Amino acid sequence: MAEIKDPENTIIMTLKDGEVVIELLPAIAPKHAERMKALARAKAYDNVAFHRVIDGFMAQTGDVEHANMASPSYNARRAGTGGSDLPDLPAEFSGIPHDRGTLGAARSQNPNSANSQFFINFKDNHFLNRQYTVYGRVISGMEHVDKITRGEPPANPDRMITVRVAADVV
């Protein structure tokens, strides 16, 4: 596991193949970084499916409303259409490029509609620059992200088993 320099702004995501350590970028996208920490602390991301995984592009997850695999209301057809019970966030576009391993805020056509969903880029996707908020980057465990089952949605989707703020992990 990578050295964690700022535990309050580091996320530890457990996947079936191992831990993914994500450095949040609060200086670049403070509202998005704060939202991810709030949802992680509420355990809202636990058991949420990767509902849209496109080989050579990205893995999308974070629909806490429809994609919780532990919930009896899990619905693969609706996964990817929901958010959280918190209000949508304004765009926080920056000059940080959508490189391999960066986290981008998923949204509708409205730039100010990001909520809980996010994606992890499998490769450099610079065509997304300044169109989707970048608010974190994988600092270790990208090999586990690369193993996430592909599909839109995958027939048997992988999920985030747990998502924690490193400062809270004892």
The predicted-structure confidence for 82-117, as pLDDT tens digits, reads as follows 789 899 999 999 999 999 999 999 999 999 999 999
* Consecutive H or E run containing 162: strand 162-165
Q: What is the pTM of this model?
A: 0.93
What is the model's pLDDT at position 65? Answer: 81
* Integer CA distances (angstroms), 68 to 51, 53, 56, 62, 101, in order: 10, 16, 25, 9, 23
**Which residues are registered as beta bridge partners of 163?**
13
Whether pLDDT at 69 is above 60: no
pLDDT in tens, 140-170: 999 999 999 999 988 889 999 999 999 999 6
Q: Are 139 and 2 in contact (CB under 8 A)?
A: yes
Q: How far apart are CA 108 and CA 46, in angstroms?
A: 23
Whether pLDDT at 76 is above 60: no
CATH superfamily of 13-158: Cyclophilin-like (2.40.100.10)
What ranges do the domains of the chain cover? 13-158
Q: Token pair for residue 61?
A: 């997850």
Whether pLDDT at 78 is above 90: no
